[in-house]
Structure 1
Amino acid sequence: MFLIIKPLQNPTPLCHAYKVLAHPINICALRKKASASSRMWIDRQSADPFTKQSIADGYRSRAAYKLLEIDRKFKIFKKSTKNIVDLGFAPGAWTQVALARSANFKTTPKILGVDLIDCSPPLGSHFLEGDIFSRKTHQEIDEFFAEEGLDVVLSDMMCNSSGNGELDHFASMDICEGVVILASRLLQKNGSLVMKYFTGSQDGLLCGKLETHFSRVDRIKPKACRERSREMYMVCTGKKSEKVDLLRLSHNAENTGSNNESKSK
């Protein structure tokens, strides 16, 4: 039986990852115990202007400014927006942006964050600990929104960096495939998708696939992305058709293939 996920009555305002960045004394203490590479990361974070600005503005991470820039350019959040899912939710900065952008709407959108990492949602949003590659998670998302469908799918998900750019690119393509499957199933007509990816040889294939589902597909590297980073975002607007269950189609194709193999033996 599916239980509707309710927001915490007194949600923790910050998740653990943000607490480290939000308090300089913690950074200093952490730096003393960290390895050389970790100290470099901590120093870079503490000196980063977007990190400093996120603390001043009350955002849980610098990633907020990536979505803010994307929304200014492409108007992702509209007055008609009712249902939003934030994939790769932790620490919750993108959900904070969605809440802020919809604050003056007559009807406050329903926002659900989904992540493998448990994290308290900002007040006014909800959280589901789950894996988007799981059919169960897809079903729980659908049921949470009372099978109304989604207006916006946000994905800031990314794999842990291996140090090998091409490997990271292919790993990001796998993640994007999972996001596209979810969006094709649950995103309503005229809905929007914002999705992070690492650039590489398969960019064109991903863009082509998205163009079959959306009227417009743009690629953008927001200013808050680090200059040397290979991360970019696909911004897809105007979903062309009603929901399509690519997960079911894939499952049926696998079963058909298995049956054909059995018959040939």
Structure 2
Amino acid sequence: MSDEHGSGDHGAPRALKVKVKTAKRRTASSNRWLQRQLNDPYVVRSKKEGWRSRAAYKLIEIDDKYHLLKPGNRVVDLGCAPGGWCQVAAQRVKSTDESPRVVGIDYLEMGGGPGAIFLQKNFLDDDAPDALVAALGGEKADVVLSDMAAPATGHKKTDHLKIMHLCEVAIDFARSVLRPGGHFLAKVLRGGTENELLTNLKRDFAQVMHIKPPASRADSSELYVIAKGFRGAVEDLGLAEDGDPRDTHAWMPPLKDA
């Protein structure tokens, strides 16, 4: 089991902390960010193990516990740059260049990876959903992932509302492309409306929960929402006599911080 730094090498000597010298053109906040990056064990591991970003470990930890990705699945990755989640998804669903089963989209440029199709496009563009469906070959997706985040403003409430909007758009897309039984995973930020999102998702998914994987920094307001077991189209939900969905939702507790 991993230790608090995410390393499985128990008993190994602790890495020396790297100190960053102040440069004339760097701000104090830039120096703090750089020092944190240089001393982040997940950053060190990602470079050593060939992942494009430390975010890969968030998906690895989540999938190890909740089993979202299975061989043969079709996966859509929203906001995929720099590509760590595409890498993990392609590996776990056994996607290949000859038969790609992972499609990623981002407005940022990103080199393609093995087993993944990359669309350089803003997901909020009107034609983005159709482009993703075309890249899937017209097939339904088994999993929709979203690690999308708007550029930070430094104002917590604004940043929270912006990322919640992105998540809501991702949910609408997931409802249109997921096969029955499919799964949804997305990043959110704490800020007051995240529980409303769970209520929204519970209408269409069998299990809904917030989690914070160990690779998510403890001082971050970042959370992930998982929705498992998509019920399918609205007409297939099964309504009670009063028109409300039957209460067949299974609440699962959040993952405790490591």
SS in 2 for 1:67: helix
Deviations along 1:136-161, one digit per CA (max 9) or x if unpaired, are 01011111112211111111111222
Q: What's the offset of the Cα at 1:130?
A: 1.5
Number of the residue aligned with 1:208:
199
Letter in 1 for 2:162: A
Q: What's the offset of the Cα at 1:102?
A: 2.5
Number of the residue aligned with 1:94:
85
Letter in 2 for 1:185: S
Contact 1:169-1:200 within 8 A present in 2 as well: yes
Task: Tell whether 2:34 aligns with 1:35.
Answer: no
Where does the alignment leave 5 or more consecutive residues of structure 1 unmatched?
1-27, 245-265
Where does the alignment leave 5 or more consecutive residues of structure 2 unmatched?
1-19, 236-258
Greater share of helix: 1
Q: What's the offset of the Cα at 1:179?
A: 0.4
Contact 2:42-2:54 within 8 A present in 1 as well: yes
Number of the residue aligned with 1:77:
69
Q: How does 1:1-265 map to 2 (within 5 A)?
A: 33-81=25-73, 83-103=74-94, 110-242=101-233
CA RMSD of aligned residues (A): 2.4
- What is the TM-score when the length of structure 2 is the normalising length? 0.78
Deviations along 1:43-73, one digit per CA (max 9) or x if unpaired, are 1101101111111111011001100011011
Deviations along 1:142-194, one digit per CA (max 9) or x if unpaired, are 11112211111111111222222211111111111110111111111111111
Number of the residue aligned with 1:18:
none
Deviations along 1:192-228, one digit per CA (max 9) or x if unpaired, are 1110000121111100111111111111001111111
* CA distance, structure 1, for counterparts of residue 30 and residue 213 of structure 2: 25
Relative to 1, partners in 2 of residues 1:198 and 1:216: Cα closer, same or farther, differing over 3 Å? same
Relative contact order (alpha carbons < 8 A, sep ≥ 6): 1 or 2 greater?
A: 1
Q: What's the offset of the Cα at 1:132?
A: 2.0
* CA distance, structure 2, for counterparts of residue 72 and residue 220 of structure 1: 13
Deviations along 1:16-49, one digit per CA (max 9) or x if unpaired, are xxxxxxxxxxxx8996643221121111101101
Contact 1:219-1:235 within 8 A present in 2 as well: yes
Contact 1:169-1:199 within 8 A present in 2 as well: yes
Q: What's the offset of the Cα at 1:234?
A: 0.5
* CA distance, structure 2, for counterparts of residue 161 and residue 243 of structure 1: 35
* CA distance, structure 2, for counterparts of residue 236 and residue 109 of structure 1: 24
* CA distance, structure 2, for counterparts of residue 60 and residue 208 of structure 1: 34
